[in-house]
Structure 1
């Protein structure tokens, strides 16, 4: 596996990246067209998109968005790994490469938002009244099946929540990490 700049991918590989996005984040990108539009929107010089490639096949990808706060803060968006390759260190490798790139560009902090928007709710913050004693709810946070568990293992911390961002009881959870 190698990590390469997505601007160097050919059309077939970009299509593979879109398929991964649709298959793994289908709430946000339910169709191939939605996923391709996202890639085209993100694939601009201000952003950095990196793909994990095995042979000629894209097996995962992620990006950091143009920095804000005078170049100090980068946003991680998105991160997607092919379902049959998850749990094998590919996501970790992509995130570490993106963190290194953010540091190289002078970043001090990297952040991301992770929606808890499935019908069942995945984390202990789903269906909780986040306006009632939020500090205790954060202290007892349980990621459940949500990708939050991955980011916590990577050293990210919860830096905020936006209650009801995706409907009543469906928060957006913000994570950050000092680079």
Structure 2
């Protein structure tokens, strides 16, 4: 698997991504991208100047997942949006790998924080299906995952819950906010080391594919 930038000219890949959006969000967030038209519009918006758009494909070019990010707060903060993995590719850490890739993309652009909103439209958590006022943060402090809500997926990747918007998707349908520091002093050292290791691995693969031949130009060549 490899993760590459998504470009407007990748018509077949874009079509596959749009199909994934419609199919993947149909059950729990049917109003997100109910039609191919709305899904294609979402993909098109990801090519904006203040956006990141990355797609995971296998060796045959089949789309396995897609992730994007939106620049906010003058680039200090980026929103992870969206994240989708093909039904056939789930359970193979594709989502985790895409999130980590977005983190690196944000880091290289000088971002400090990556955040994501996790809707609960089906009562999958203890904060869904309730009137959270007048103390939404009290409810949030006692949040429990009742039926496989993805907020715990992000927690495993180092994100922490930072807030909640009551009734974001209608009465009793909140949006849970999670965020992760991308570029503190310790985070920077660890991430720079990971990026160096990744570049070294890529260089080794390139050398292996070329038969191990390395040419050095002498001075004056």
Question: How does the TM-score come out when normalised to structure 1?
Answer: 0.92
User: Counterparts of 2:129 and 2:78 in 1: how far apart (Å)?
Assistant: 30
Higher helix share: 2
Q: Post-superposition shift, 1:159?
A: 0.8
Residue aligning to 1:111: 115
Counterpart pick for 1:52 among 27, 51, 56? 56
Matches within 5 A, 1:24-173: 24-26=24-26, 27=30, 28-54=32-58, 55-65=60-70, 67-118=71-122, 121-143=123-145, 144-173=147-176
Runs of 4+ in 1 over 2 A off after TM superposition: 132-140
In 2, Cα distance between equivalents of 1:8 and 1:31: 20
Query: Structure 1: which 5+ runs fail to align?
Result: none
1:72: Cα distance to partner? 0.7
User: Which is higher, the Rg of structure 1 or of structure 2?
Assistant: 2
2-side partners of 1:129 and 1:45: how far apart?
38
Judging by fraction of residues, say which structure has more strand.
Answer: 1
> Separation in 2 of the partners of 1:137 and 1:154?
23
Gaps of 5+ in 2: 183-221
Root mean square deviation of aligned Cα: 1.5
| In 1, Cα distance between equivalents of 2:125 and 2:91 | 19
State TM-score, norm by structure 2: 0.75
Instruction: State the number of aligned residues.
Output: 176
Distance (Å, rounded) in 2 between the aligned partners of 1:139 and 1:172: 14
- Change in Cα spacing, 1:33 to 1:8, as seen in structure 2 (3 Å) is closer
| Separation of aligned partners in 1, 2:53 and 2:38 | 17
SS in structure 1 of the partner of residue 177 of structure 2: strand
Whether 1:22 aligns to 2:22 is yes
Q: Distance in 1 between matches of 2:164 and 2:132?
A: 8
2:65 and 2:96 map into 1 onto residues whose CA distance is 11
Residue 123 of structure 1: how far off its partner (Å):
1.1
Deviation at 1:140, TM superposition (A): 2.3
User: Which one scores higher on RCO, CA 8 angstroms, separation ≥ 6?
Assistant: 1
